[in-house]
Structure 1
Amino acid sequence: MSKTVELLGAQADYYLAHECKTIDKSLIYAPGPDAIDRIWLDSDRNPQTLNSIAALYDHGRLAGTGYVSILPVDQGIEHSAGASFAPNPVYFDPENIVKLAIEGGCNAVASTYGVLGAVARKYAHKIPFVVKINHNELLTYPNTYDQVMFGTIKEAWDMGAVAVGATIYFGSEESRRQIVDVAKAFAYAHELGMATILWCYLRNNGFKKDGTDYHAAADLTGQANHLGVTIQADIVKQKLPTNNGGFKAIKFGRTSDKVYTELSSDHPIDLCRYQVANGYMGRVGLINSGGESHGAGDLQEAVITAVVNKRAGGMGLISGRKAFQKPMNEGVKLLNAIQDVYLDPSITLA
């Protein structure tokens, strides 16, 4: 019995034996060792950007597979340093963040200008850097759903980053300005030869209706992904879908009944497959976020998310709090368990 099957326990068949009968797997551009030649070679990305994408693909335990495992630690800004690092104060030190990514066998480490800049000369050549270029922050009162630039694309390039990451809060009052800001930044990043990753998150209190939260609905997050690939993200990051029917419940925008009857079901893999489809059928890879730490159940939750992502056609996981809010050896164990899902040839496209 594989470790993944053991961790899934009684839920193993539900996740591993599921057959997707919504969007057929033959339509998906699945990750693989030949992903750059098969998917990206005909695009407008310049040779240096392709080289940067290759650098992300070819590092860590998943090197050469087309899948990625990224450690993201921008929570010191996004959720406050106290809330993020109090469970494990060693991560106030940027070097320990990078060390965790290296020890954990990650493809890359994603963090702020300050974190990565503090140790760039020592580590930029040892693990690919992804500089998160914009952030929300929690000292403006009352808090708003906005993301503002914290530095320049040239700064990220100068510190040796192979990619930049950004967030857009789709649905927020400021989202249209964020789209313009990030589109311009991504265009310059591509000009310099860096890859781009977009956090395609939703933020609007109106996305909660009759006691149900639709911020992670497959239809709404799928459309956020579709907007993200439109401004030429090379990878989109999204929360794993927890429900569907956001457009219908909130009664805005446009959708089709087929989204809910033919193109998805209530199975997590089918819901995630719809997210993948909105990234040009997987041409732009989908990485799902690992979510907050819940303690004892983190390992199983992380493995389930990885299985759903992989079988849906996604290209990996970006998991932070579940890893760094633990002692380093436990964080490494969790990251390795995620990577084991993508290294297991028996876990296939549904």
Structure 2
Amino acid sequence: MRISEAVQRVLNNYGGERPGVKANLARLLMHGRTGGSGKLVILPVDQGFEHGPGRSFSVNPAAYDPHYHFELAIEAGLSALAAPLGLLTAGADRFAGALPLILKANNADNLSDDRDQAVTAGVRDALQLGCSAIGYTIYPGCDRQYEMFEEVREGIAEARDHGLAVVVWAYPRGRHLGKDDETALDVVAYGAQIAAQLGAHIIKVKPPSAVIAQAEARPAYEGMDLSGLATRVRHVMQAAFAGRRIVVFSGGPAKDVTALYDEIAAIRDGGGHGSIVGRNSFQRPFGEARDMLGRIIDIHLSQAGGQGP
């Protein structure tokens, strides 16, 4: 397989990295309909663990079946499927080699109000499943953030030693952050910076709002027009080592497709590397979800202003 120029430019941002890690990054970036473009569109399915099966799958009962998500990601031509150990184990054998997998190695549940994540899988599991990457969530701002940072840093070091790429879900939250603060521009950018500093190769964040939550940070944003999402995305990319780290943006709760497509276009225009879309995908019927993901891919492959790939 010849690595495209666009993907090679992305890989060049990881100078000094282990060859195995860069090979797995290339595997992700060269797969699916976005393959070779330097963009990623990923299906994450950790919501059954994080939010509960009823909230996640009852609206589309077919999604209770782990194989449904493998088939959706494959049919839609996605870059990868990301999920916890159990879901991947249920399908990795049958769908071996069909698409890259990302093992979500720490998780939390909605039955507890504790702002923490338990380590539920490890590098050995990822290797046995044939994964290209392993993923961790961090909660910058929570009371246990430093314990999380240490756990994740240890996992990142082990993953790199074995040639796995690492995805970090950077979700600021905690008793000092209000709900609106969690997606504030300065807070989202801070989370992206922390993930990059911990050694993440791919960073997942939520689309940032125009809110500036930290009083101490407000002078840094004076005079910046924050009204457009593309501008805010561009700033988050700056925080991720001036765009030298891959940043993908979450789709969030299911929403009207027009609003979703507008959001995806703004992420593209701001220089984001792609999208990681879960509930907006699998909570829709298979055909509708496949077509919607296809449209998301088309947007990421198009040029700003709606021009073709």
TM range (shorter): over 0.9
Q: Secondary structure at the match of 1:240?
A: coil
State whether structure 2 residue 98 is matched by structure 1 residue 126.
yes
2:209 aligns to what?
A: 242
State whether structure 2 residue 222 is matched by structure 1 residue 260.
yes
2:285 aligns to what?
A: 327
State whether structure 2 residue 246 is matched by structure 1 residue 274.
no
Q: Is the 8 A contact 1:36 1:50 kept in 2?
A: no
Offset at 1:39?
1.9
1:345 aligns to what?
A: 303
Q: 1:102 aligns with which of 66, 74, 94?
A: 74
Q: What is the distance in 1 between the residues matched to 2:7 and 2:86?
A: 33
State whether structure 2 residue 11 is matched by structure 1 residue 53.
no
Q: What is the distance in 1 between the residues matched to 2:164 and 2:278?
A: 22
Structure 2, gaps ≥5 residues long: none
Q: What is the distance in 2 between the residues matched to 1:255 and 1:326?
A: 39
Offset at 1:218?
0.6
Which one scores higher on RCO, CA 8 angstroms, separation ≥ 6?
Answer: 1
Q: What is the distance in 2 between the residues matched to 1:302 and 1:52?
A: 29
Q: 2:7 aligns with which of 28, 33, 37?
A: 33
Q: Secondary structure at the match of 2:136?
A: strand
The farther-off stretch of 60-69 and 84-93 is 84-93
% identical equivalent positions: 28
Alpha carbon RMSD of aligned pairs, Å? 1.6
Structure 1, gaps ≥5 residues long: 1-30, 249-253
Q: What is the distance in 2 between the residues matched to 1:240 and 1:37?
A: 24
Q: 2:87 aligns with which of 115, 121, 124?
A: 115
Deviation sequence 1:317-350 (CA, Å, 0-9, x none)? 00010110011000001111110012213559xx
Q: 2:59 aligns with which of 84, 87, 106?
A: 87
Q: How many residues matched?
A: 302
Deviation sequence 1:29-58 (CA, Å, 0-9, x none)? xx9333245322x2x311111000001001
Q: What is the distance in 2 between the residues matched to 1:265 and 1:161?
A: 38
Q: What is the distance in 1 between the residues matched to 2:242 and 2:282?
A: 32
Deviation sequence 1:196-251 (CA, Å, 0-9, x none)? 1111001124322xxx7211001011011100000110111110012221102xxx
Aligned partner letter, 1:224: G
Offset at 1:302?
2.2
Aligned partner letter, 1:189: A
- Name which one, 1 or 2, has greater alpha-carbon Rg: 1
2:164 aligns to what?
A: 194
Q: What is the distance in 2 between the residues matched to 1:36 and 1:312?
A: 16
State whether structure 2 residue 217 is matched by structure 1 residue 217.
no
Q: Which runs of 4+ in 1 moved over 6 A?
A: none
Aligned partner letter, 1:279: A
Change (3 A) 1:261 1:68: same
Q: What is the distance in 1 between the residues matched to 2:185 and 2:118?
A: 26
Q: Is the 8 A contact 1:63 1:107 kept in 2?
A: yes
Change (3 A) 1:324 1:37: closer
Q: 2:173 aligns with which of 189, 203, 217?
A: 203
Q: Is the 8 A contact 2:269 2:304 kept in 1?
A: no
Q: What is the distance in 2 between the residues matched to 1:243 and 1:346?
A: 21
Aligned partner letter, 1:327: P
Q: Secondary structure at the match of 1:156?
A: helix
TM-score between both structures, scaled by the size of structure 1: 0.83
Q: What is the distance in 1 between the residues matched to 2:163 and 2:103?
A: 14
Offset at 1:265?
2.4
State whether structure 2 residue 247 is matched by structure 1 residue 286.
yes
